[in-house]
C-alpha cells in the first residue's frame, strides 16, 4: 500500500460498514422468521430452535427466508429478490478478487511476473475450494475449522506489532507513514498489547470448552466437527506456511550472499585493473 491509501480511515470505515450491513441483514432475517412463524402459530421456543438449526452447512437463513420476505410483493418481490441475490453474488466476487490479489501481490514481491502468478493462484484457489463445493460434509468441516481459525489469524496478525513494539509500530509505520490519514491514538497500544490477546484467549478457551462439552462429537477423535480435527488442520497449515517462509528466507539470503560475493569480486577486479594502469 502507498502512503496515500489512508490505512487508518479504511481500517475503520470498512469494518464499521461491514458490521452495520450484517446487523441490518440479521435484523431483517430474524424479523422475517419470527413474523412468518408466529402467524403459523409457532411459539418463541420453536422459532429459536429453528434459528439455531438454520439449514445444513449454515445455508438456511438467507437462501430460504429472503424469498419468503419478498413473496407477498408478487412480481415486484421476485424482482427485489433477484436483485438481492445478484448483490450477494457481487459481494462474493469482490471478496474473491481480494482473496486472489493478496497472494498474487506476494508472488510479485517474490519476483514472479503477474501474468504467471495470477493463473497459478486462481487454479490453486479453485482446486482448494472445489471439494467444499462438491461435498457439503467437507463444507461443514471447513466452515467449522476455519471459522475458529480466524482467531489464530488474528493472534498472528497482532503478534507482529507486539514483537516490533506497538508504540514504535504505531509511530513509524502508521502515523508517520500515511499522508492525509487519521492518527492512531495511544489507546491503540493498549488494545494491541492487552485487550486483543485477552479477547483472543477468551474466545479460544470458550471454543475449546464448547467443543469438548458437545455430546454429539467426541473431541479427541478425528471427525467432521471435532476439536482434534481443528488442531490437526491448523497444525498442518501452520507447518506448510512455516516451511514456505523458511525456504523463501533461505533463497533470499542465498541471493544476497551471491550478490555480495559478486560485488566484492567486481570491486577487486576494478582495483586490479587500476593497479595495472
Q: Which residues are annotated binding-site positions? A: 18, 95
Binding site residue list for Na(+): 18, 95
* DSSP 8-state code for residue 15: H
For 65, the 3-state DSSP assignment is helix
* DSSP 8-state code for residue 179: S
Q: Using an 8 Å Cβ cutoff, are 11 and 192 in contact? A: no
What is the secondary structure of 76-92 as a DSSP string? HHHHHHHHHHHHHHHHH
Q: Within 13 A of 125's CA, how many CA atoms are on the CB side?
A: 16
Residues in Cβ contact with 193 at an 8 Å cutoff, skipping those fewer than 6 apart? 162, 166
Residues in Cβ contact with 9 at an 8 Å cutoff, skipping those fewer than 6 apart? 181, 182
Sign of torsion over alpha carbons 189, 155, 15, 11: positive
Q: Using an 8 Å Cβ cutoff, are 33 and 51 in contact? A: yes
Amino acid at each position: 500500500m502507498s502512503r496515500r491509501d489512508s490505512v487508518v480511515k479504511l481500517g475503520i470505515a470498512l469494518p464499521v460498514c461491514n458490521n452495520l450491513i450484517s446487523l441490518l441483514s440479521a435484523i431483517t432475517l430474524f424479523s422475517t422468521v419470527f413474523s412468518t412463524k408466529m402467524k403459523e402459530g409457532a411459539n418463541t421456543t420453536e422459532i429459536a430452535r429453528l434459528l439455531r438449526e438454520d439449514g445444513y452447512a449454515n445455508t438456511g437463513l438467507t437462501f430460504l427466508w429472503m424469498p419468503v420476505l419478498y413473496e407477498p410483493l408478487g412480481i415486484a418481490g421476485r424482482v427485489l429478490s433477484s436483485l438481492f441475490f445478484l448483490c450477494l453474488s457481487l459481494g462474493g466476487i469482490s471478496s474473491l478478487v481480494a482473496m486472489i490479489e493478496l497472494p498474487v501481490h506476494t508472488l510479485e514481491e517474490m519476483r514472479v511476473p503477474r501474468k504467471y502468478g495470477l493463473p497459478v493462484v486462481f487454479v490453486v484457489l479453485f482446486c482448494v475450494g472445489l471439494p467444499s463445493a462438491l461435498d457439503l460434509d467437507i463444507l461443514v468441516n471447513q466452515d467449522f475449522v476455519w471459522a475458529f481459525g480466524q482467531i489464530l489469524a488474528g493472534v498472528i496478525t497482532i503478534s507482529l506489532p507486539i514483537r516490533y513494539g506497538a508504540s514504535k509500530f504505531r509511530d513509524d509505520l502508521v502515523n508517520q507513514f500515511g499522508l492525509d490519514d487519521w492518527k492512531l491514538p495511544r489507546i491503540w497500544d493498549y488494545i494491541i498489547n492487552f485487550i486483543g490477546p485477552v479477547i483472543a484467549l477468551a474466545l479460544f478457551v470458550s471454543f475449546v470448552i464448547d467443543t469438548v462439552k458437545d455430546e454429539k462429537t467426541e473431541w479427541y477423535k478425528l471427525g467432521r466437527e471435532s476439536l482434534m480435527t481443528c488442531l490437526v488442520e491448523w497444525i498442518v497449515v501452520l507447518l506448510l506456511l512455516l516451511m514456505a517462509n523458511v525456504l523463501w528466507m533461505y533463497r533470499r539470503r542465498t541471493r544476497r550472499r551471491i550478490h555480495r560475493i559478486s560485488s566484492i569480486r567486481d570491486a577487486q577486479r576494478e582495483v586490479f585493473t587500476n593497479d595495472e594502469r
